[in-house]
Structure 1
Amino acid sequence: MVEELAQADEAVSACLDAAVWSLGEQDLVAALDAAHRLAQRLVALQLTLVRELDGRGTARAQGASGTTVWLRERLRLTIPAARRLVDLAAALDDGRNDGARRALADGVITAEQARVITDTVTAVHSAAGAAVADKAAGVLVEWAGQFDPTLLRRMSTRILDHVAPDVADAAAKAALDADARRADRDRHLTVSEQTDGRLRLAGTLDAETAGLLRAAIDPLSGPTGPDDTRTPGQRRHDALADVCRLAVRTGDLPASGREHAQIVVTTDYDALSQQLDAGTLDTGLALTPQTVRRLACDAAILPAVLGGNGQPLDVGRQRRLVTGPLRRALVLRDRGCAFPGCDRPPRWCDAHHIRHWVDGGPTSLANAVLLCGYHHRHVHKGEWTVRLGSDGAPVFVPPAWLDPDQIPRRNHYHRRC
């Protein structure tokens, strides 16, 4: 299979180098259709490979918490995109969806259309049984030749009106339940850092959470008066900030890493007092001197000694638990789970002793690393070696069976530059 795919890759490369400007319009359209069909067939093959790898447990064997995270790292996908691959691969492996699997493999439907068909067939099977589900699958595959995924999903909600009118009403309720389960499965929120230090929010909220968000920010999103020149988007942004400030001030948020909810800002104290220097959040985002001083008006000043290269120095507490100033120093250094490929934030992480406490390892910054719960357990199996590099950042050496050269790896998801 690998050799055949290499040959296909060479064929595609040859097409990419071809002079498409010389083709007539009819040939261009035919080439587009052929390329689209080939793309869907390759997706079908990719899903088959994903399903097999998932079944073998390859991701966990290589240190990932699951196939979705492993695909994100391996194929440079977003988590939602990787999750959709895993879910669709599992759905198409179900015998009830053989029609959709064959149609995708033949290149006559797209992956998005296949997802609509598998979702619908699952709901119909629950409501009306296998025979009706098979009939619905055939109708949906036929419709997919005429309608895009959005229209196909809209029409699929009344599929039983066409294939089994006698159970359509009961199935409508089952479809509604399926929609609720799909909304629960697809809910997510992505927080990504832009190059200028700002954050971009993207995601999909279920109906209940959407209602809660609107109930929280809508009262705060209106203009404050005739002189309010903010755009609607800016007012919603400021309303979300107000809600977050209110939540932090309540003191009711759960503790994070044995620390109560807080914002940690790193800056030079002398420069701060003279209004000269900017500050840095523990998430890596920069703040203006004015913002730092405003935050300091309502915050405790927690001194931390930094070395010449900006690395927090050992706070030297003689204790086993990494809490207080030492915990904050560790968060400032690692910024999240330090295991390669993991993007878990500090609040989800434990402090791991590189040289175990029971073996005489000290509780110090030089002997600690932030790890999420999964990777903390994984590292304790003893196959991976952890040490600090020359710059003071954690380095992980994989086991020989995974990488015979045992090339050290780092986590790049929490880098500040």
Structure 2
Amino acid sequence: MFDREGRDMSQQQPPAPPVGSTTDLLDALDRMADAVEDIIAHGPDTWGRLSSDDRLQAADRMERSRKKLTVADAAFLSSHEAELPAGPQRQARAVSQIFTTTLRDARNRLAAWTRVAERPDPWGADPTATHPDHMPQLTALVTDGGLDALGVEKVDKQIRALPAQVQDEITRVADGPVADLARKQGPDVLDALRSFLLDLVGAEEPYTEKDHARMRSFTIGQQGCDGMTPVRGLLTPELAASLQRLMADYAKTGDLVEDADTALDDRLPEQRRHDALSAVVHHGYGRGRALTPGRGATTIVAVMPVEQLVSRSGTALTDVGTHVPAATLLNRPDVDLDTYLQVLDVEGRTLTFGRSRRLADLHQYLALVGEEGISSAPGSDSAPAHCHVHHINGWSAGGPTDLDNLTLASPSMHAQVDDSREHEDRWWTLKAPRGSGRRVDWIPPVTVDPERRPAHNDHPTTRRHPGDARRRVFRDSAEPP
């Protein structure tokens, strides 16, 4: 007997399936249903009688159990695969009907299934080999209750957005690092994996400036009966960077309002962004205009390594977290971009500024953009434009305002730092040891880590930032093999 691809099925038998008791499975489901009913029966009064620590631990146990069911969903879908229709849309509709859930949730479960289930091909060259989409270390995190289907779907979506020819390699190489990121920094970090994934396999950004020009769009919709008009579109990296800078300068609480009304500013973030865009349209934004860029006279602040300057390739990271093609910044004299460009040497240090003189505030900020590129505080994803400049050794304790004593810190973390280093229930900052490949060590409060081990921000967006990429060479060389 031969299959549709001409393989002799009589000479190739699928591996024996694992033995399991269907009775035990159904009994376990009955016990789970009963346990859920019991948990629901204990209302807020019962929860309220737990101590705060016990209550939080109980909530963590409940949430971990909920996340672990992602593995059970994958087992069901693997067993039911032959009965699912072909095509992603039809499969999503079928799964949404099976689980009586939304299409969005069904897509999450299907995406998680492709990464969590091993799905070996019984008729393949190696019947025991897992499917190339499988990510065992990410699966282990789900099995431990550390990630749910939505988190796995975030990873799947980021991988599938990359060129098809590198997806299998990225899946294999990125499995451990991505699981480690999610474990240390939480699932939200998985929304910013693109550059991290490309860097793991040494791949260049697949979309060129011509691609961006082709995809750019902006559409003003039909005015609604309420008088409001919707907009939609895709912005090129340089336009996105300029608008993000505008929002950083003029869409914060209290911006663009009279001084007397600053404390009463109750606008939502999206309303403040609308007002900033309105101001730029009506009053102008740029040098010599009514709205000038903050922290300098440039609308785009970007950084790249020296070899990238020479080759004029790759992307440069801006201080608002947007990647702009190097060619756009270097090869487009016809485009009126008000840009500050910083170049770093092989050790991630600034070539633009001398180190023998004290730098002005603006220059220090621009240098930090190049050397750090993001808040150095652990778990933060704040781009430089939204950060405070923090003294590693506190100013009140005699710390100088010199570049090597400064770091970028998100406002929320900056407010939690004890510059005096007297209170162990607050964060401290220390200069990292020379040769460590770090600029600053963040010492967590005892409530976060009783041992107060140095912590760092390894957010995936730093993976391709020139300053951190160069320091990573020193970090990797210092790690034991």
Q: Which has the higher contact order (CA 8 A, sep 6+)?
A: 2
> Quick check: TM above 0.5?
no
Which TM-score tier does this pair reach, normalised by the shorter chain?
0.3 to 0.5
